[in-house]
Structure 1
């Protein structure tokens, strides 16, 4: 919300010396986010005057249209003018100009020699296009006014006197506060709301622009039928006739709209926008001659169509709230009007000279359900100034005043006549009240404010307060966010000043630190980073279509998602159940930007729906919640296990003088899983598997033993080619994901540092021939079990297939390291342990010593 300081002073008598920075500091202290204070007119100096175009000579000998003009600038003109003096002889100025949107007799804004325009653009007498130009005819952009809708030179109304100062006329000097209005302070999307905060911050009275004399409703107004009182609980309609179609918005109105960040369009539209900025109530003006019968408010029929003011034909949803007449929808309620009933620009008939345009309007000032408007705006990707206000909460009591203010301006500026009919549809409602103990803000803030201060601050907000120790607070209509005692406490605290709250450092008991889960999370991150992976955190939101791209079965548990009621993006409304979509998306983006050798990892939460849905409870703040209250609070929450995942593509080892390098493959993904398991102190079981996005022949199932039961914790390997194609990934992309919480539960206990023995190692190599379908992990497990306690490590260092081995067979070569803790092993002891290991491998897997 852009708030011009000059406009704000109309409602609050701010100190004459108060600058925009001073007001910013006061509003920030009151809890508003004032991002910047823009200095309008900075770097602009005169002379800048109103001039009248006397003659225009078209210079046709140049490539682009050039006009040589003589302009009457009053006493400021004259060839003898000294640069920067501001004086003159009163003679017309000769000026070169390339714009074509003005004619002889028009009043324009002229910068005379000596003037400096924004951007340090200095105006001086100079020779150009064979003529001497003594000044410049200015456009709005050149004066820092922004887009005024004309697209060229500023053409002023004819009533302004030649030679007067244009800086005052155009209000070029001002300060504008840019406020980032948070969702709970929708009332500050208006001058009225910001003025209320400024008045409270300075301790000054407020001149409320909504305090107008409004005629009582009667039966003579335009007929309105509200079929959905839940979606529209208030609808005010007023009619103004006899509008002058040639009437234009006065300069003061256009300038206020420009300073507030809006583009002037036409008088009727500008007035509705102005009143919206002033009171916070969105309005819409319909051309009455285009309305067929009564105006209605209802939900749209599925598939119904409307063309909105932006020229887009939209297909409506059954949840959309629409404004209708007898011909169908004429507007998306609270979002945007329809093109069929828009205010028509004035057009002059070339034959008769008659000016045609809208002369009769019906003003709509209604109050719509915030949730319905927000969903409609997002559904149609159509955020407007009106929808921004409705979805944050609009004062329903301001509708009648806003309609009256609009009528008054139309009568004043467009020469219209207000009809006596006043239509007002009201749904039954009662003031909202909140019960709160008088000392509740004290208990929340830890500061003794006292009842008197609490009551005074709540009254400044606009509340009516009754009672002594137990307060009954009637909430003002413009504050829909005040619904609980804590909301009222927050108002007291912010107005008393957050900076006045004492700073008290918490004193945790000694001996506390990171939990075991947090320590594992950090160790896993460091280990993967040390293995060459780059951490790539992602948003936890996904689209459900991604599960089809990952080739998950229809009944896969990962397809059961938690959906957000108010997602950041309608395209990703669900919480992730796997880390892969985000990681693979990051890999795809980086690969598309030229980084082809990638190894990314992420550790984070995934979300699974709770077994039983429930309703969250509001916990007390004056005591510690009971275990039962905490259990009820946690019951509806989704399960949130922590996962670890990696994705790889391109080269895992770069080529160089040291060798050829090699591409990343499924074994690297499996090794990443082993790295994570080692950090957790868990024994990882790796076997061939098949699941969703992984290639069925290059997929490893990962499991651990928890409480004596083997549990699958994830998968690793190369992704299926169909998944790679669907997600536009590099060929042979590999991935791994496992449940880190379950791996932690399989931990053998505290991690032990590696022990360095003083006795030598005995190494024995064995090559075993097994069937090609026998997993190497099964052979390794048999060797470990058979070798006994003397075995220190076993490592697979070669896999061989060929005619020498036989069809359907493979040779696995292992290096076995034996060591005793208390002595040097003899050759006989090492050989005996090796033979026992080979024997058990033969028994379990049918392995045969190669060459035997």
Structure 2
């Protein structure tokens, strides 16, 4: 986000001398530029200019040599001998140098308070500061010698306030700029918005002044050969070149420019590079400086070819993509050579160095989509790319280039070359199309009464050209509004209405709560979703939210076979991350990644769940048609579009690891198991009011082959799975042993839910009869099957049935197991007789024997 230095803003717009960062934030928020943060003064306390009088090297036992210095810090701060004694470990300065001295009481960034302290056998009465210690750069070469950093010696005096000198006492405002308002990534744009908010006088320094020379025939040759434009838009429609010869390679960046750059969040590098960055921040036009000696004409702007590589300025060797737009040249005998990624980052082969005397300035205009894709593809969100992808004024290039040339001449001692290049595709730099706007439209859309004069004057204030539509057939006045070149976001009447409302003041728009139409509320699915979420939270689960993007490795981690239908995923054309280009086909794959991340941070006792959509494309489904713009698609086109949209069911998934019941003075606790996952899945079905049947599923990864349950509707429709995760999956993901999980299809449950209204069950005042059964069954018979047989036999008098014991051993026979159930019987209108209870008991035994071959254990 842009950082705003007040004195730089004042170059473009009149600001009060006492303007604070808080007031500036309040003024800008009125026009939609929100405050992100206010960064306080970097240094407080007595930081002063000092002159080194004496420097005595003193070798130490540890092999280090320190300097015992006597420094003149002015009559108000010196001791009785006219200086202060300070210990310093750096060696890049000498007697006579002017430096920044932090006296006791100063607080440097960190915070790092300075006090007099005894060290190396001396009392160091302050500290001689480096650039890094002052928080104004990363230079670690040693002490900040002021005369080497753009300050003239005649302007410096011992004792002078160094905080004001270095600009360390100012507050800096950081603002949040929405993606559609790229012009606000410059002081020119922010100053314009400040003027809109306060009425202050604004001077547009981005308009041509007449000082810009016209293109010449001998300008540095540039060719654009974009054979594969994106969406039919050529990647570069303007390319201005200027040359400055004979600059002093050792010329320093002046202190005022360093202060402004560093206050705006940019590091000072070298004069030529700093100037291009300065002009970019000032006007909003990204520039690039080449060492002219390392570039050969002609420059060719083209797309990359297969196998091309580029070492960028960050020393990274990058493999280029066919969509990348490149700046190239053709050295004699070397073929085509890549100089930079257009609009993103330059290459190391032509960078400015300590020997550069002749500079080639590039001020171009690139396609926002091309630059945005390249920046994301190579993970290079550079300052230039941020501006290009939001839209840059196509008329700004020659103005910005001239500004850079003037600064190089003034500060670097160079000479502007008479050769001027300007390859201008007029299709890219002609004014935008005029937009027809009814003067009543702002009032209609906002509910605020705006006069025609207010509408017209506001649009002219933002830089638009406004004329009346001729021969209008409309009953109200219609304006033809041509947006300014720096506002590519203004494309329709609604955009213009937003500008009128924004400039006139959002506070004028009344807050009106729309009346809710009667008879409407949450849908059945919405109510079920909330009920499920509440039930799982009450059961101790924590809801999470994960991105629905996955890659093949995530499916591999679940052990899914190559032909598993869950591997059929929708691939995104422009994914957020290259390693995750697929839309998830199941919910567990992303939830497990959340669990893995928590476990890796030491949180091993987890019970988490997620409710979200998955995408299940049908193999061979037709591709979505490209619909026409500006007209309503036909019914056939809409039907084809609907047919191409993959199924997106809503699912619920949960994972349990570690302790389900924590240990404490009450006991050792209990480890989560497959039964907890199954209980949670059944809870979801219960809250959805759908009856499900639980059967074993011996082969369904990522679950354990012997501890996985399949949940179905009565007609066999799959609802989901629950149980313990496969040991290999647990190992691959680094989860605690015996982790359990469930995933059910909420859309299926909602469709199968009972439509009958929920009826309250009367509470019987009559006593219950309790009966216990222990059935011996084959080891492979599920307990759920035995329970279902009991329910069928007990009939209407059964109030509750619960499994309370499972036993295996010699007493029940090999391959057998004993399942013990407790039944509670009750009638609503009477006390059950012994005969009725006995009849129920006999029916239960008979049903269990008939349905699952159960034998009542003696």
State the TM-score, normalizing by the size of structure 1.
0.87
Question: Residue deviations 1:378-435, cap 9 Å, x none?
Answer: 2222222111221222222211111111111111111111222222222323432333
Note closer, same or farther for the CA distance 1:84–1:449 as it changes in structure 2 (3 Å cut): farther
Task: Give the whole-Å Cα distance in 1 for the aligned partners of 2:514 and 2:635.
Answer: 23
Q: Contact (CA 8 Å) 2:219, 2:420: kept in 1 or not?
A: yes
Shift of 1:567: 5.2
- Taking the TM superposition and a 5 Å limit, the aligned residue runs for 1:569-648 are 569-608=577-616, 613=624, 639-648=647-656
Q: Secondary structure at the match of 2:174?
A: strand
Moved more, 6-15 or 532-541: 532-541
**Partner in structure 2 of residue 354 of structure 1:** none
For the residues of structure 1 that align with 2:123 and 2:840, how far apart are their CA atoms?
107
3-state SS of 2:395 partner? helix
Please name the residue that 1:294 is paired with. Answer: 298
SS in structure 2 at match of 1:262: coil
Asked if the contact 1:715–1:736 (Cα under 8 Å) also holds between the matched residues in 2, the reply is: yes
Structure 1 residue aligned with 2:516: 508
How big is the shift at 1:717?
0.9
CA distance in 2, matches of 1:757, 1:396: 82
Q: Cα–Cα, structure 1 residues 557 and 367, in superposed 2: closer, same or farther, change >3 Å?
A: farther
Question: 2:764 is matched with which residue?
Answer: 757
Task: Give the 3-state SS of the residue equivalent to 1:193 in structure 2.
Answer: helix
Describe the SS at the equivalent of 1:298: strand
Correspondence for 1:374 among 346, 365, 372: 372
Structure 1 pair 102–769 and aligned structure 2 pair: CA distance change class (3 A):
same
* 2:472 aligned partner: none
Give 2:778's aligned residue. Answer: 771
C-alpha contact 2:91 2:142 (8 A) present in aligned 1: no
Partner of 1:718, secondary structure, is: strand
Cα deviations by residue, 1:723-775 (Å, 9 ceiling, x for unpaired): 21222211111111112232133222333344322333344444444433333
Task: Flag the 1:849–1:173 CA change in 2: closer, same or farther, 3 A.
Answer: closer
- Matched residues in 2 for 1:731 and 1:417: separation? 73
- Cα shift at 1:138: 4.3
Instruction: Give 1:137 shift.
Output: 4.4
Change (3 A) 1:151 1:184: farther
CA separation of 1:677/1:117 partners in 2, compared to 1, >3 Å: closer, same or farther? Answer: closer
What's the counterpart of residue 10 of structure 1? 11
Q: Which moved more, 1:658-667 or 1:413-422?
A: 658-667
Measure the CA separation in 1 of the matches of 2:392 and 2:56: 54
C-alpha distance in 2 between matches for 1:105 and 1:588: 61
Q: How far apart in 2 are the matches of 1:392 and 1:270?
A: 23
Note if contact 2:43-2:134 (Cα within 8 Å) is conserved in structure 1: no
What is the match of residue 499 of structure 1?
507
- The answer to whether 1:35 aligns with 2:36 is yes
Once the two structures are TM-superposed, the CA of residue 26 in structure 1 deviates from its matched residue by 1.0
Q: Residue 792 of structure 1 contacts residue 817 of structure 1 at CA under 8 Å; is this kept in 2? A: yes
Residues 602-655 of structure 1, C-alpha deviations (whole Å, 9 max, x = no match): 3333344597736799999xxxxx999999998887654332222122333456
* Corresponding residue SS for 1:424: strand
Question: Cα–Cα, structure 1 residues 502 and 608, in superposed 2: closer, same or farther, change >3 Å?
Answer: farther
1:271 and 1:406 in contact (8 A); partners too: yes
> 1:280 corresponds to which residue?
284
Q: 1:653 and 1:318 mapped to 2: Cα distance?
A: 56
2:338: which partner in 1?
329
Q: Return the alpha-carbon distance in structure 2 between the equivalents of residues 453 and 438 of structure 1.
A: 9
Distance between the aligned counterparts of 1:566 and 1:26, measured in 2?
A: 38
Distance 1:166 1:241, change over 3 A: farther
SS of corresponding position for 2:592: helix
Contact 1:243 1:416 in 2 (8 A): yes
CA distance in structure 2 between the aligned counterparts of 1:108 and 1:764, rounded to whole angstroms: 94
What are structure 2's unaligned runs of at least 5 residues? 470-476
3-state DSSP of counterpart to 1:551: coil
Residues 5 and 637 of structure 1, relative CA distance in 2, 3 Å threshold: farther
Distance 1:408 1:633 in 2: 56
**What is aligned with 2:23?**
22
Does 2:710 match 1:712? no
Contact 2:43 2:168 in 1 (8 A): no
For residues 264-413 of structure 1, the aligned pairs below 5 Å read 264-326=268-330, 327=334, 328-345=337-354, 357-413=355-411
Secondary structure class of the residue paired with 2:396: helix
My pick for the range that moved more, 602-611 or 178-187, is 602-611
Name the SS for the 1:503 alignment partner. Answer: coil
Secondary structure of 2:153's partner?
coil
What is the deviation of 1:786?
3.7
CA distance in 1: counterparts of 2:849 and 2:105, whole angstroms? 99
Aligned counterpart, 2:473: none
> Is the Cα contact below 8 Å between 1:793 and 1:817 reproduced in 2?
yes
Cα offset, 1:27, TM superposition = 0.6
CA–CA separation in structure 2 for the residues paired with 1:665 and 1:431 = 68
Q: 1:241 to 1:714 in 2, by over 3 A?
A: same
| Paired residues of 1:699 and 1:717 also in contact (CA < 8 A) | yes
Compared CA separation, residues 534 and 69, structure 1 to 2 (3 A)? closer
Distance 1:132 1:806 in 2: 90
- Matches of 1:806 and 1:820, distance apart in 2: 38
Whether the 8 Å contact between 1:72 and 1:92 is mirrored in structure 2 is yes
Aligned to 1:454, the other structure's residue is in SS state helix
Q: 1:572 to 1:489 in 2, by over 3 A?
A: farther
Aligned to 2:443: 442
- What is the aligned partner in structure 1 of residue 692 from structure 2? 684
Q: 1:121 to 1:667 in 2, by over 3 A?
A: closer
Provide Cα deviations, 1:246-301, integer angstroms capped at 9, x if missing partner: 22212222221122121211111111111111111111111111124422222222
Residue 156 of structure 1 is matched in structure 2 by 147
Match of 2:835 among 828, 834, 849: 828
For residues 473-516 of structure 1, give each alpha carbon's deviation from its aligned partner in whole angstroms, at most 9, with x where no partner exists.
Answer: 22222222222322222221111111221121232245654443
How many residue pairs match? The answer is 821
Alpha-carbon separation, structure 1, partners of 2:257 and 2:33: 26
**Contact 1:324/1:330 (<8 A) preserved:** yes
Q: Alignment RMSD, CA only?
A: 3.7
**Alpha-carbon distance change, 775 to 241 in structure 1, aligned in 2, over 3 angstroms:** same
Is contact 1:147-1:258 (8 Å) kept?
no
Q: Which runs of 5+ in 1 are unaligned?
A: 346-356, 621-625
Which SS does the other structure have where 1:742 is aligned? helix
SS at match of 1:392: coil
Deviates more, 1:194-203 or 1:13-22: 13-22
2:91 to 87, 100, 103: 100
How far off is 1:439 after superposition? 2.2
TM-fit CA distance, 1:67:
2.9
In the alignment, does 2:194 pair up with 1:188?
Answer: no
Q: Residues 703 and 94 from structure 1, CA distance in 2 versus in 1: closer, same or farther, beyond 3 angstroms?
A: closer
For residues 86-115 of structure 1, what are the alpha-carbon distances to aligned partners after superposition, in whole Å with 9 as ceiling and x for unaligned? xx99x777765433222345444457x799
Corresponding position of 1:351: none
Instruction: Report 1:62-81 matches (<5 A).
Output: 64-69=64-69, 76=74, 81=75
SS of alignment partner, residue 364 of structure 2: strand
| Partner residue of 2:193 out of 167, 190, 197 | 197
Paired position in structure 2 for 1:222: 220
- Cα distance in 2, alignment partners of residues 82 and 135 from structure 1: 15
Q: TM-score w.r.t. structure 2 length? A: 0.86
Query: Is the contact between residue 682 and residue 744 of structure 1 (CA under 8 Å) also seen in structure 2?
Result: yes
8 Å CA contact 2:212, 2:402 repeated in 1:
yes
1:464 touches 1:474 (CA, 8 Å); kept in 2? yes
Contact 1:6 1:174 in 2 (8 A): no
Gap change, CA 1:615 and 1:820, over 3 Å in 2: farther
Contact 1:713 1:738 (8 Å CA) reproduced:
yes
- Relative to structure 1, is the Cα distance of residues 734 and 17 closer, same or farther in structure 2, using a 3 angstrom cutoff? closer
